[in-house]
Each structure stands twice: as C-alpha cells, then as structure tokens.
C-alpha cells in the first residue's frame, strides 16, 4: 500500500476512535443525569408546639416565633405595630443575632435594645428582651416588653428628687448661714435687723415650697376629689385676688376682676382657689410695675373659662411647651428673687386635670401672657360661646 494512503487510513481510524469516545461520554452523562437524584433536605416543621399559639395570643408583650431559618412563624400585633416584624422577617438586627445564638447553644438570653420611634415625637422605643429556644426543631421565641414609658417616669422621678433636694438645700443653707451671721453681729442692731429680715424671706420661701410640694403630691396621684360640689366662680376669683393683693400692691399692680357673673363649676373650691392664686402670682411676678392683671370668666359651651391676662415680659415660644413642668423656669433668676418655687404652673395643670379640665397659654414676648383655665360647668349645661376676644385687649 502506498505510504500516502496508509497515513490517510491511520488518520481516519484515529478520528473514528475519538468520535466514539466523545459519544460514549455523552451517553454516560445522560444516563447519570437520569439516575442521579440530589439528597432531599430534612423537612422543616412549621407548626408550633401545642398550646403556644394560645399563650402568645394573650401575652401583653411583643411576641415573635422564628423557625430555624429565621423566618417569622408567628408574630403578635404589638410586634408588628412597633415595627419589629415586617412580612416574614424580623427587622431588629440585634434581636436576630440573639436568636441565632440561642438556637446555637440553647441558652436563654436577656437584653435591652432600642429601635426607631414609631410614635409621633418619640425618638426611640426601648425594649426589655428575652429570647428562648422553643421545641426541638430550631424554633426560637422572642419576647420584647416596651419599657419606654417606665424609663421616662423613672427619669422624671430622679429629676424631681434632685430638684427638690436642690430647692430645699438653698433656703435651709441660707437660714443656717444667716443665723451664724446674726450671732457674730449681735452688737450691731442694724445688721441684726437686716439679716433677720433676710431670714424671714428665706423661711417664707421654704414654707411656700413645702406647701406647694404637699399640694402637688396630693393632686398628682390621680386620686379623685374627695367631696366635689358646685363652686361659684365669682367667689373663687375674689378669694384668689385677696390672697395676691399684698404682692400686687408692692409693685403697684392693679388686679381687676371681670367677665360674666353668676357662673358655677363642679369641683373643689380650695384647689381652684390655689390654682387661680398661682396664676395670679405668676402674672404679678413677671409683670412690670404700674400695670394691670385682669381675671375674667366667661361661659364656653359646656365649660367655664377663667383667664388671667398680664402685660408682662411674655414667654418665648420655645419655652411654652415646658412651662407646666415641675421646677421649669423661664427666668430662673427672677423666679428665685420673687420667692417662686417653680411648682405653681405644675399645680395649676394637675388641678385642671383633676377637675376634668385643662389649662392653656397664649403669650408673646414683650406683649404679655394669658393663661386660661377651662373647667366643666356645674350641671353640664351647654352655653353658647360668645365671640372670641383677643386676649391682650382685655388686659390693656
């Protein structure tokens, strides 16, 4: 056979062998694909242990049950309302991390977390969290208790105790120091007279503070008024004015009563006199000499409104939301100089609330302020509201 033909035959034989190998490979791969089945994952038990769903339904806390793949099996309405759960996902990363640790080692864990606030004006929500394993299929129970309000109340309590301690310490310390000074100046009648007058001022300030604390503790506990009855508004206004006349006369401030006569409200007369006295004292303290403070009453639907208007320095808009807080002072130096305790407006707010009413304020810097005490009318009879008068017009 010629060499050339021999080479061609060998080449054809090689190609045939290669084609057979490739064809065999494809056939084997097809057979393996038909016979091979991937291993099935273990079935996931999405059912809750008996009785768990019933318990979760009555829990006040935010409750969430996660399966072993971190999907939400059950979530209370509170958990969704607070934004802890969305769809089938747990949105708080800290909670998710705790759940994975509990699933891994089976140990119950407790912690505190904060999430973005869900209520208007609330910056964040604080939760006390408890995470525990549930059953034997990798499920985890997450309980989150909202403690934002409790923390706020605790902070208010701490501030209140600190403020009371400070306010009591100031006059007590001043009295002690003045007593020592008088003892050293026993041979100087003028100094003794001057310092004894100062002691009387500090003692009066201490007395007012204690009285205001007693009044505030009495009404802020939410206890009902012991013996409510009909209270004539005219008599209440005149009694409050009588108690403030001395302070007003010292600054040549005229106290004027006006408005509708013969109105009656439902409540405790002594508490209402205390509230009005605090409003009038406040108006006198923050008004310049030789001005007027007008106290007027008028019917307002099924309520009676008693307004105290002054021509004082006014209240900055930024401070108007806080003026009813205990010990908050717009001008601390002026308040302490006049013997103010910083509790007067807080007392007014609580007295109004105890009577089912409210207190509001209108103020403009340099133009004065008007505080309005709105109280339920005796008998609950609705009276047409007269046309509105610009508050400061009544005080000029």
Domain residues of the chain, as ranges?
52-146, 225-383
pLDDT above 60 for 114: yes
Q: Was domain 52-146 assigned CATH 3.40.640.10? A: no
What are 256's strand-pairing partners?
Answer: 294
Judged by average pLDDT, the poorest of 106-110, 301-305, 330-334 is 330-334
- Over residues 352-372, the mean pLDDT reads 89
∠ CA(324), CA(319), CA(329), 5° rounding? 60
Give the tokens for residue 60.
Answer: 């006040």
Residues contacting residue 63 through CB under 8 Å, at least 6 positions apart = 56, 74, 75, 76, 78, 79, 141, 142, 143, 144
pTM score: 0.55
pLDDT of residue 395: 43
Q: What is the pLDDT of residues 204-246, one digit of tens each?
A: 778 877 877 777 777 776 566 767 888 999 999 999 999 888 8
pLDDT of residue 56: 73
Identify the band that residue 272 occupies on the pLDDT scale cut at 50, 70 and 90: very high
Are the CB atoms for 276 and 314 separated by under 8 Å? no
CATH placement of domain 225-383? 3.30.565.10
- DSSP secondary structure letters along 294-333: EEEEEEEBTEEEEEEE--S----GGGTTTTTSTT--SSHH
């Amino acid at each position: 056979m010629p060499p050339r033909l021999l080479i061609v035959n060998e080449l054809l034989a090689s190609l045939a062998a290669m084609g057979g190998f490739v064809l065999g490979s494809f056939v084997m791969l097809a057979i393996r694909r038909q016979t091979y089945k991937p291993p099935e994952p273990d079935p996931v038990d999405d059912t809750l242990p008996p009785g768990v769903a019933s318990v979760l339904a009555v829990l006040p806390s935010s409750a969430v049950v996660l399966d072993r793949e971190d999907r939400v099996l059950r979530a209370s309405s509170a958990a969704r309302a607070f934004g802890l759960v969305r769809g089938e996902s747990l949105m708080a990363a800290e909670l998710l991390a705790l759940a994975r640790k509990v699933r891994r080692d089976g140990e119950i864990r407790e912690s505190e977390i904060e999430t973005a606030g869900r209520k208007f004006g609330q910056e964040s929500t604080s939760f006390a969290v408890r995470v525990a394993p549930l059953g034997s299929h990798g499920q985890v129970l997450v309980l989150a208790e909202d403690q934002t309000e409790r923390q706020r109340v605790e902070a208010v309590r701490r501030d209140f105790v600190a403020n009371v301690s400070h306010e009591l310490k100031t006059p007590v310390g001043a009295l002690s120091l003045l007593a020592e000074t008088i003892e050293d100046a026993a041979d100087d009648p003028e100094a003794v007279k001057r310092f004894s007058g100062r002691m009387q001022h500090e003692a009066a300030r201490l007395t007012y503070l204690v009285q205001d604390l007693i009044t505030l503790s009495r009404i802020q506990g939410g206890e009902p008024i012991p013996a409510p009855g009909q209270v004539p508004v005219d008599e209440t206004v005149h009694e409050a004015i009588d108690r403030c006349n001395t302070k007003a006369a010292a600054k040549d401030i005229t106290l004027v009563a006006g408005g509708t006569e013969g109105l009656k409200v439902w409540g405790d007369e002594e508490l209402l006199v205390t509230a009005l006295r605090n409003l009038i004292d406040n108006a006198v303290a923050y008004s310049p000499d030789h001005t007027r403070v007008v106290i007027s009453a008028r019917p307002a639907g099924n309520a009676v409104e008693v307004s105290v208007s002054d021509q004082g320095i006014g209240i900055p808009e930024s401070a108007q939301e806080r003026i009813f807080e205990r010990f908050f002072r717009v001008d601390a130096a002026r308040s302490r100089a006049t013997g103010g305790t910083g509790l007067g407006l807080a007392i007014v707010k609580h007295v109004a609330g105890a009577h089912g009413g409210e207190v509001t304020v209108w103020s403009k810097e340099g133009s004065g302020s008007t505080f309005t005490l709105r109280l339920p009318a005796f008998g609950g009879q609705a009276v047409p509201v007269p046309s509105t008068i610009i508050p400061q017009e009544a005080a000029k």
